Structure 1
Amino acid sequence: MKTVTTPPRFGEKRSIGRKSVLAASLAVTVNSAPLHAAMLEEVVVTARRSAENLQDVPAAVTNFGGEALQDSGISDLSGIANITPSLVFAPSPGVGVNPQVAIRGQVQNDATVLTVDPAVGIYLDEVYLGRSPGSLLDMFDVARVEVLKGPQGTLYGRNTTGGALKVIPNKAEPGGEWAGFLRGMVGNFGQLHTEGAMNMPITDSFAARLSLSRRNQDGYGNATVVDANDPETIIGEFQPGEKNTDSLRVNLLWDVTDNGVLELGFDSTETGTNGAPSYDRGGDRARAPAGVISSYERSSDDHYSYFTDVETNADARTEGVYFKGTYNLPWAEIKAVIAQRDLDYSFTIDPDGTSARGVFTDTRQQVKQTSYELQLSGSLWDERIQWIIGYFDFEEDGNDKTYTFASDVVAGAAVPGLPSAIQLPATGTAPLLSATGDADILNTSESAFFQMTWDATDTLSLTAGGRMIEENKGLDITQFDTGLANDALGPNPSNDCIYADDPENGQSNGTDASSCYFRQDTDYEYNTWVLSASWNVTDDVMLYTKKSRGVRSGGQNFRGRTNETLVPFNPEFVTDTEIGFKGEFFDSRVRVNLAGYYTDYKDIQFSDIVGISTFIQNLGDATIQGSEAELTVAATDYITVIATGTLTNFEYDDETLQGPFAPHKKASLAINYKHPVSWGEFGSNLSYAYSDKVPLDNDANAYENNPAVSQEAYGLLGFTAYMDFTSSGLRLGVFGNNLTDEETFGNVIPSFVFADPLVGGVATTGAPRMYGLDITYRFGL
């Protein structure tokens, strides 16, 4: 097996042999090194907090190097989903800056609720991104991306049940060269992307790296806008799909001594979009010839065209700064990471997906998070035992201001018990709901963790780890409703307060407007753990087994308004058993990685619409069984073939429920060609990604009988090609994604205007065919 010859940066403990330091990963490997050599290059990951060969890690991981991301035409984090087993990215309804991320069917299906934690954690430079908005990271100047599958309950700060995505940008290099690159791309739908990076070695021990990216795209849909009070009157149009993103990263690295390194990082991203096309597939155009809505019809055969009464938009600005210090003691290494992140997020959407004045939502969120992590790691007994212990503290302080309007259009379907005078006629003008909420949240998490790997023999390694966690979720919210529903049903129609009195907590919400508030404070304690064993059958073949427990924290329902919807939801727990095989054959020309898992899933959290309230509930239990496979073959000196496959069976104990974002089958095939020539290198990448039918809602009956709430099986074809003029530093390329122009949907919520769950569903489209030109200039390399 070929080994890594480049020296590790200080603070990266690199294990090149078959035995390594802690517990991490399997699956698809896309190498960042040139692939025209017949022997596959070794892939180094840090999934277990130290640098080691991917083939030595007894768990499921996918790795993408920076060059592979460019070769595959991947522009943002969602692009890796098509070629990663068990990973699904979906846009949130109506907006495009807060993705819903699922691994092995585990997902946060409402990515805008501040009291709900993600099922899949996203990390940038070892810092956890607590909220989904702004986490769809642009893939510029990135060293690699690692996808860790299964519960990450031991080594990573916030516990996630599905897995974790780690984005590691390129770092400053003291003593290196003044070097960098400039890159530009142009394409259809007004695509214009510019990016660049510069490494600045100020001294032999201190360096800075500056990276910038600007990405612009025009809309690819057509939305016809009608008068909110008269769906028959057209007042304008806009082109959904427009998106503009500006990003900046700064990295400072100082080799203070031979034993110590200090690192400071800053990043900022600002994204504005009008969202992807989103409409009710049962009928987006409301017809009201006599002022009363009589029917809904699909307005166009065009997949990306629809009618609406709201011009949607979303803006997210994130800023983060971290300070990292690493010091080598004679007997161990100590690392400290201090970080702070700020999020400003706003969106205006049309949740009912029709031109009726059905539902309208306008939200403004501000969140600040701080985290502190301390790690101590080392080895004992001639390095036969590797260990790490640590402490993690996380605090998140946020505010959500939301205005929601719902009309009599949704009264009959959404609010049972309303007087018939409110339900009919459906004009779209009567304010069934007109609610303004102001919520403050305070989430804290504190944990201590350890993990140890013992090389019991030359071929057998055992790993054990655990984490003890204490969390608190606090909520303070005021919400008023001047709509007819509150007037008819209370509880306090005299002052429009939606909360009933709660004498036990000293709340008397019925006296005057200033006293309308609701408070909850909930504590949680739990433990997570991992046990694994790996056996090196030969130098090139490893078998492993792993059992782990993960948790996703409980929290409050700050969008609730009734006793039922205000009850806090419980944590969800996952116990996962995984077995795997990793091997290399034919002088490292063939790499085969296989994994099978069985997941016991308890108290599953899911965001549901009950009446005119959205709330998180624990649906019950499920089992998830699956397998993942990756095959990498250096077919010739110039051609590398990478194939992946996934089988997933998600079964709720309650047979009326269906696991969303968990296609039964998923596969990909990529052919990478790289040929050195006299002037440099010619390369190309042809890829095909297939997904079986994808359930986009959790109603099993609707999944079987309503085609509007799922995405039928589809395949996406991509292609890139380039000419790299090595001596001049110039690279010219072309790229294309979804070349066959497949029409897909990425998300759906139940219909607001059709009471029958077998009719309609508000769906958000995927992107159409995208293509363009790519030019890169490298200097100082």
Structure 2
Amino acid sequence: MRPLTPLWCGVALAIPGAAWAQVAPAQQDPEIVVTALRRETRLQDTPLAVTVVSGRALSAAGIRELTGIPLVPGLGFVDSGPSNTRLIVRGIQTVGEPTVGLYYDEVPVSGVVGPANDAGGNAPRLKLFDVERVEVLRGPQGTLFGSGSMGGTVRVLFRKPDDSWAARVEGEASWTEGGGFNHGINAMVNIPVASGIFAVRAVGYDDYHAGYIDNPVLGLTNFNSDHSYGGRLLARLTPTPDLTLDAAVQYQHGTGDRPIWYGEQGPYQAVNQVRLPSLDELTIYSLTARWDGPGFTGTATGSIAHRRYEVAISDPSYFFQSQQNNPATCARLRGGGNPCTPAMQSAFNDYVQDYVHGLLTGLQRSTTHTGELRFASTGAGWLQWTAGGFVSDRHAFDDNNQFKADPVTGEVLQPLIRQTERVIDDWLTQYAGYGELSATPVGWMTATVGLRYFDYRRKVGGNTVVPLDLINARASAYTMVSSNDSGWVFKGNIAVRPTADLMFYAQAEQGFRPGGVNQVIGLPAELGPYRSDSLWTYELGVKSSWLDHMATLNIALYRTDWHDMQVGGSTPAGPFQIISNAGAARITGVEVEATLRPARGLELSAAGSYTDAKLSEDQRNANIIATGRRGDRIPYVPRFAAGGSASYSWQAAPDVQAHLRLDVTHVGASASEFRPDNVFYRRLPAYTLVNLTADVDLKQGWSVGLFAANLFDEVAITASTANGVSAGRTLNTSARPRTLGVRIGKDF
């Protein structure tokens, strides 16, 4: 641990990299209204495991990133940097389409497919400024939220335009231990153009985070800086009291170098021989219409999302160097299986050397159209219902290349020298119809049933344009492969409320995820398509409020049976990574959330989870090499995660409101692979993060705060991998080192 720097000049907008959600447990005020059931219900009356993080709590903790949201039991991340994040809920973690549904307002978003067919590995992370609340629904949400919600759903709900003049500006400055100076600015303005009829709300931000990783091979210090800017424009039209139209445009642009360091070199030291730049640009257009009819609400929403994603996949330099002076490789590629002569070996070494300094990169474009129409009952009748339909169409274009790089600077040479290229078109079209019905025959019991019909079509076409024999990439003509599936998912729930402040519920719900088609060109037919996978979760829960709502305690116990898992593996005859169906898993767990408000201005919170996520069958498939065996733990899922917070607010002077906050989060150990005897198995140690904030609200709308993130400078590893391309070297990503700073804001 490095000594504490006596420099209180600012903290970063967020700490990128917590593998399991950081900072404080969310507030569980029983009067909070949520829309987790696609209709409004009180949080403590909602019979499922849902956690709400208010915008006020996010602002108080200085959280501006999805991976930094306060600790939610069972929620975690495989965080390999700002553009490489996988959401995990209750241990449902694997490659392929997302296992957690991510919504920004009414818009479902996913990552881009990429060369590994892994849209779940790069969830878009819009900045969390001017947020109304974040809802985290734990457990499968297959009936109401559909595919990609087999583990749970995360909904980010932004503040909407309203009938008041308002504006806020926030500026932040910070210093990262062993790194550099960070700065950011956020701004919001709300304008009621026509009172009661039309209003607009505009949000903008610009964030810069200095790097903290050094690369002595390229002579670089603090090279992994990142810069993002963007905003959103929202407009609300209320032409009649029962009709509301919301239009929004959201945009975010981010660039930087991937924050990867090499475990063998020690913390924050990298030895990659080329730079690893990334560019991530997301634009979302959406329109939502809400009609408050007699006894029901109708909602129609449509969206178009464009994502431009250009990311350095890896530095293959060490892999190619391992092929030099390798008689077996030379014999296979130049000798027809016979040993190479010294002259042949020398010529082969020169040939390989030309590829040593090259950057494997994916140039990806994705456009997704979604539409949804639903109706939900309103009022307090004994029968409540929700019904709707959904359609989504996504087209992704993926241009995978290796470009030659300068061996001195590590920069890609200009003009571009393309050493290999593969292009892929990927289409995924989904249709669904769904409904839920809740009946309360007596005041103390509610029964709910739900179902969803899904139908998807997937097709993939592509070819290898520029071959490279060193990686078995052979030239090929454009080919097309397709797959499809349809079926039903179900839900049953019974909730019993003995008193107004105590509720028990039991639930069984199914989740599913679309299958797909592997993108490796020239695969045999049996290796192309892979099937949907699905699971059932059985859950018992209790929600309770105590001491006249001074305290809340919520507990959930669950078991998940996951069948026909989509797993990553490699082809027996080559190094290509593909997805297939193999094995099953059983996950059992318990989640606890508690909040106590013993005195005015004082709030104490705690949350924790135990997750036992293991394979219940071997991952055996004759067509691929998959490593998992019965009893192996699912990667990146710690058994224990817990956190607590204490916050206190008081009137320090007639015009001064003061706030103090302490957040502590502990994340248990996990691993990167199923099998401990896997040569690429890496252990992620447990870690504990501590954050402190101290703020004052002054007269005339001013606020000033000091805060410390990762106070004790923990090396918190959030992703760790090793593979053949890295020649077995350990590639780590971690939380930002200790960062100290100041925030100043002004309300107008």
Identify the residue that residue 141 of structure 1 maps to in structure 2.
130
Q: Tell me the distance in 2 between the aligned counterparts of 1:573 and 1:625.
A: 16
**Correspondence for 2:721 among 729, 749, 752:** 749
Identify the residue that residue 30 of structure 1 maps to in structure 2.
26
Q: Check if 1:473 corresponds to 2:444.
A: no
Identify the residue that residue 349 of structure 2 maps to in structure 1.
none
- Residues 716-760 of structure 1, C-alpha deviations (whole Å, 9 max, x = no match): 1111110011x31011001221111111222123332788xxx75
Per the TM alignment, residue 83 of structure 1 is displaced from its structure 2 partner at its CA by 1.1
**Correspondence for 1:51 among 12, 27, 40:** 40
SS at match of 1:30: coil
Q: Tell me the distance in 2 between the aligned counterparts of 1:744 and 1:559.
A: 35
SS at match of 1:620: coil
Q: Check if 1:179 corresponds to 2:142.
A: no
**Correspondence for 2:391 among 387, 390, 393:** 393
Per the TM alignment, residue 124 of structure 1 is displaced from its structure 2 partner at its CA by 0.4
Q: Tell me the distance in 1 between the aligned counterparts of 2:582 and 2:61.
A: 39
SS at match of 2:144: coil
Please tell me whether the aligned partners of residues 459 and 482 of structure 2 are also in contact (alpha carbons under 8 angstroms).
Answer: yes
Identify the residue that residue 236 of structure 2 maps to in structure 1.
253
**Which consecutive unaligned segments of at least 5 residues does structure 2 have?**
1-23, 112-119, 322-355, 406-417, 619-628
Aligned residue type for 1:104: R
Identify the residue that residue 697 of structure 1 maps to in structure 2.
673
SS at match of 2:475: coil
Identify the residue that residue 778 of structure 1 maps to in structure 2.
747
Q: Tell me the distance in 1 between the aligned counterparts of 2:279 and 2:93.
A: 23
Please tell me whether the aligned partners of residues 26 and 57 of structure 2 are also in contact (alpha carbons under 8 angstroms).
Answer: yes
**Which consecutive unaligned segments of at least 5 residues does structure 1 have?**
1-27, 33-39, 110-115, 227-235, 282-297, 408-432, 491-495, 499-515
Please tell me whether the aligned partners of residues 274 and 357 of structure 2 are also in contact (alpha carbons under 8 angstroms).
Answer: no
Aligned residue type for 2:88: A
Per the TM alignment, residue 200 of structure 1 is displaced from its structure 2 partner at its CA by 0.3
Aligned residue type for 1:213: Y
**Correspondence for 1:613 among 553, 567, 576:** 576
Per the TM alignment, residue 701 of structure 1 is displaced from its structure 2 partner at its CA by 3.2
Please tell me whether the aligned partners of residues 213 and 248 of structure 1 are also in contact (alpha carbons under 8 angstroms).
Answer: yes
Distance 1:278 1:480, change over 3 A: farther
What TM-score comes out, normalization by structure 2 length? 0.83
**Correspondence for 1:651 among 608, 614, 618:** 614
Q: Tell me the distance in 2 between the aligned counterparts of 1:87 and 1:386.
A: 29
Identify the residue that residue 586 of structure 2 maps to in structure 1.
623
- Residues 441-472 of structure 1, C-alpha deviations (whole Å, 9 max, x = no match): 11100000001111121000011111000000
Q: Tell me the distance in 2 between the aligned counterparts of 1:351 and 1:119.
A: 28
Q: Tell me the distance in 2 between the aligned counterparts of 1:391 and 1:404.
A: 43
Give the alignment of 1:297-696 within 5 angstroms. 298=264, 300-301=265-266, 303-351=267-315, 357=356, 360-378=359-377, 383-404=381-402, 435-480=420-465, 482-485=467-470, 496-498=474-476, 516-559=477-520, 561-563=522-524, 566-610=527-571, 611-653=574-616, 654=618, 655=629, 657-677=632-652, 678-696=654-672
Per the TM alignment, residue 529 of structure 1 is displaced from its structure 2 partner at its CA by 1.6
Q: Tell me the distance in 2 between the aligned counterparts of 1:561 and 1:387.
A: 49
Per the TM alignment, residue 564 of structure 1 is displaced from its structure 2 partner at its CA by 8.0
Give the alignment of 1:83-162 within 5 angstroms. 83-92=71-80, 95-109=81-95, 116-131=96-111, 133=122, 135-162=124-151
Distance 1:397 1:637, change over 3 A: same
Aligned residue type for 1:371: T
Identify the residue that residue 722 of structure 1 maps to in structure 2.
695
Q: Percent identity?
A: 24
Please tell me whether the aligned partners of residues 668 and 687 of structure 1 are also in contact (alpha carbons under 8 angstroms).
Answer: yes
SS at match of 1:70: helix
Q: Tell me the distance in 1 between the aligned counterparts of 2:509 and 2:315.
A: 38
Per the TM alignment, residue 352 of structure 1 is displaced from its structure 2 partner at its CA by 5.4
Please tell me whether the aligned partners of residues 384 and 438 of structure 2 are also in contact (alpha carbons under 8 angstroms).
Answer: yes
Q: Tell me the distance in 1 between the aligned counterparts of 2:167 and 2:155.
A: 23
Q: Tell me the distance in 1 between the aligned counterparts of 2:296 and 2:261.
A: 54
Moved more, 145-154 or 99-108: 99-108
Distance 1:314 1:238, change over 3 A: farther
- Residues 1-49 of structure 1, C-alpha deviations (whole Å, 9 max, x = no match): xxxxxxxxxxxxxxxxxxxxxxxxxxx96239xxxxxxx5622211111
Q: Tell me the distance in 2 between the aligned counterparts of 1:649 and 1:533.
A: 25
Identify the residue that residue 208 of structure 1 maps to in structure 2.
200
Per the TM alignment, residue 248 of structure 1 is displaced from its structure 2 partner at its CA by 1.1
Per the TM alignment, residue 91 of structure 1 is displaced from its structure 2 partner at its CA by 2.3
Per the TM alignment, residue 157 of structure 1 is displaced from its structure 2 partner at its CA by 4.6
Per the TM alignment, residue 607 of structure 1 is displaced from its structure 2 partner at its CA by 2.8
Q: Check if 1:221 corresponds to 2:213.
A: yes
Aligned residue type for 1:96: P
What TM-score comes out, normalization by structure 1 length? 0.79
Give the alignment of 1:4-23 within 5 angstroms. none
Q: Tell me the distance in 1 between the aligned counterparts of 2:518 and 2:259.
A: 27
Per the TM alignment, residue 544 of structure 1 is displaced from its structure 2 partner at its CA by 0.4
Please tell me whether the aligned partners of residues 102 and 108 of structure 1 are also in contact (alpha carbons under 8 angstroms).
Answer: no
**Correspondence for 1:737 among 694, 709, 712:** 709
Distance 1:564 1:665, change over 3 A: farther
Aligned residue type for 2:37: R
Aligned residue type for 1:186: A
Aligned residue type for 1:180: A
- Residues 152-187 of structure 1, C-alpha deviations (whole Å, 9 max, x = no match): 1111154421111100111000xx221121001000
**Correspondence for 1:263 among 233, 238, 246:** 246
- Residues 348-376 of structure 1, C-alpha deviations (whole Å, 9 max, x = no match): 24355959538841110111111110012
Aligned residue type for 1:393: V
